[in-house]
Structure formats: C-alpha cells, structure tokens
Amino acid sequence: MPATRDELNAFLDYLETPVANAPTGPLAGQTLGVKDIFDVAGYPTGCGNPEYPTARFAAVETAPSVQKILDAGARFVGKTQTEELAFSLMGQNVHFEHPVNPKAPDRVTGGSSSGSAAAVSGGLCDIATASDTGGSVRGPASFCGLIGLRATHGRIPLTGTMKLAPSLDVFGWFAKDAAAYGHVADVFFGEASAAEKSFRPLTLSALDELVLGPDEAAEYARMTDRVANVLGAPTKARPFSQSIDDLYWIFRRIQAYEAWAVHGDFVSSVTNMDPAVRARFEFGRDMGCSVAVDETKTRNAFRDEMENLLGDDGVLVLPTMPGAAPFARSTGDELQQYRERALRLLCLSGLSGLPQITVPLGTVHAAPFGISLLGPRNSDRSLVRLASRILGDA
C-alpha cells in the first residue's frame, strides 16, 4: 500500500490547478512530481523559502524540461519539497515538516531533491524531477534506494528553473524502477543504441577510502564485485594532480561564489532563513573575482585530466556517499561532518561536468547505500542502460 502524502511530507500543499499532458506517449500512465525549483504553469515556484520572490505568484509557463515529460504523456500530481534555495544535502528544510525516507524512516532523505526522492521511493508517484549542483540527485537516490543520474552539464536545458551555481547546475529525475528510469532517459536522450557500449572500469583508492567504516567498506567491496561481474575487474587509476581535499575546496569556492552572485541580494534582505544555509551563501560573499578566476583555471585543468583518464570508454567506479543516510536526529555538527566527507566524493562530477549515475545496489545498517559510475561526456544514456544491466545481474 503506497504511503500517503501526510506520512512522507513529500508534496507541498499548493492549491491544485490542472496541468495538461499529452494523452499518449512513452510515459503515458505515469505520474509526475516536480521539485519546487521548476516552473509549472499555474503554480508558484517556492524554492524552499516562503519569502522567495517567485513563491508569491503563479508561473505563466512550465519549464521546458518538465514540459518534455508532460508531452511524453506523464500526468502531473504535485510539486515536491526542496531544501531552502536548493543549498543543502540532507533534506531538512526549517520551513516545512521534513520529508520521511521511506526506506529508512529514522534517517534523512537527503537533499535538496528531498520531496522528489521521498515521493518516488514511497510510491506516491512514478517519476519526479530533481536537480544536482553538489549532489542533490545522487545523494537522495543513494539514501532512498533509487537510481539517480547527474547528467552531463548543459545537456538538458534549465530554462524556467531556479539557478544556484550555473556552472554546476544540472537537471535530474527519479523513477520507480530501472525500466521507468530508462523510459525517461529515452525522452531526453533518445533511445539506447541496439549495440551496447563496452566500458572500461577504473577505481581510485583515495575515493574508495572515504567510506565511513569497516561495514561500509565491506558492503562497498561487495557492490564493486557486482559491477565487476558486468564490466570486468577494475583497474586502479593514478591519483589526480590535485588531492581530493584540494578538489573539494575548489568546488566549494566556485559553488559559493556563483551562489552569492545569483542570490546574494535576496540572502542579504531576508530574515527568515536557516542560519546554516545562510552561512553557505555568505562563504561566497567576500570571495573576490580573482579567486573565482584562479579556481576556474584549476578546475579546467582537472576537467581535462578527468577526460583524458576516461577517454571515450572509461567509467570511474566510486561510492556515491560515505555510507547510509545520517540519522534524522543527528546534530548540526554531525550532519556537517557527513556533508563535507560526502562532497569529496560528489565534487568530481560537478567540477568535470561529466555524467555520474548512482545505482541502488547495497544496504548497510539496514539502510540503502549506492555505488556510482562516472562516465565520459554525453554518455548519459549508456550509463542509464549500464545501471539497468548491473541491477539485473544483482
């Protein structure tokens, strides 16, 4: 029996307005939830803060990414919760009752696509849109037992979507199973080629070592073996020129600089804001343009290094998150420690602009734990197909 909306706090209580969808198409019969940073005609775009300007009026047009799903036949059933201005990773927005993780109710859903992950994982809808700047598709997917693709940067347009850090922002989605996920991928990327792409798996010790403890390491090793059953034994890659810690800070500075440029005026004027979210924005407030330029140069060098490592057939296998979702009762300091560790895993796809998919292959401490595959530019559809193959093998 599917959970109800009240049980999961996944959907927002907006006045229902009809939203047209195509009567036929590859997604006909599927229900759609939309993260509340995407415009839907007739609905506010609340962006997780009741005082945000677009929360005060209804959008006139639907975001093209959402419209594409509607035009494929999916039926809109409501807007889902998001973290405040999409700038968090745990799914606990101070302005709303927190979404419940259906697969581990005592743990967080992850964010910022918290409501979408809860809704799909809990069976409230078949598909839900998401976004990923720092990990807001991959994190909730890993925590809630879902497939989650961070698409190649810029491949799916973000018109009609709240910006956070434009050089990092990408569109994403969740779906009830691998088949449904593939149908949505077909809508955005075209149908998968009949000839399956052959991938060359790689691992990096510095990433594998970021799991939380021995239980997580053992389960991650089991998941890696499952991937090897499909792809073959992975090869150890040489370390990057920049350390993982250095890459984390490059990501943090670029994200904060861009986020302040986009939202600084609002953050400076609003009083009703989570102090932790405000602090993330203010980290970029006094960051000079010269710092952003220098970090971007280093980022570009890393992107070239990553693309050279992968070529056109490499996939980097890595833990999606350090372990299962943190407990919902965790302190702010505990959540922040987890967040910083997680971002060291999540930042590679954002900095490189390359696609990464998390596969719900594991369980640790009775909660979901995903494994990721980071692939070459524009390999999105092949990664979705590969995730389905791995799940079928498991």
Beta strands in 286-340 (DSSP E): 314-319
- Asked if the bond preceding 349 is cis, omega within 30° of 0, the reply is no
Neighbours of 329 (CB within 10 A): 9
Cα-Cα end-to-end distance for the chain: 26
pLDDT in tens, the chain (394 residues): 467 777 999 999 999 999 999 999 999 999 999 999 999 999 999 999 999 999 999 999 999 999 999 999 999 999 999 999 999 999 999 999 999 999 999 999 999 999 999 999 999 999 999 999 999 999 999 999 999 999 999 999 999 999 999 999 999 999 999 999 999 999 999 987 767 779 999 999 999 999 999 999 999 999 999 999 999 999 999 999 999 999 999 999 999 999 999 999 999 999 999 999 999 999 999 888 999 999 999 999 999 999 999 999 999 999 999 999 999 999 999 999 999 999 999 999 999 999 999 999 999 999 999 999 999 999 999 999 999 999 996 4
Per-domain residue ranges of the chain: 5-189, 200-242+288-393
Two tokens at 262?
């986009």
Instruction: Using DSSP bridges, classify how beta strands 200-203 and 314-319 pair: parallel, antiparallel or unpaired.
Output: parallel
Q: CATH classification of 200-242+288-393 is 3.30.930.10, yes or no?
A: no
CATH of domain 5-189: 3.90.1300.10
What DSSP character marks residue 41? B
**Other CB atoms within 10 A of residue 341 CB:** 17
Other CB atoms closer than 10 Å to residue 282's CB: what's the count?
A: 16
Q: How far is CA 339 from CA 59, 74, 276, 385, in A?
A: 33, 34, 12, 29
Q: How far apart are the C-alpha atoms of 67 and 246, rounded to whole Å?
A: 39
Cβ atoms of residues 3 and 122 within 8 Å: yes
Q: Which residues are known to be catalytic?
A: 35, 112, 136
> CA-CA distance, 77 to 58, in Å (whole number)?
16
- Same CATH topology for 5-189 and 200-242+288-393: the answer is yes
Cβ atoms of residues 243 and 209 within 8 Å: no
Q: pTM for the full model?
A: 0.97
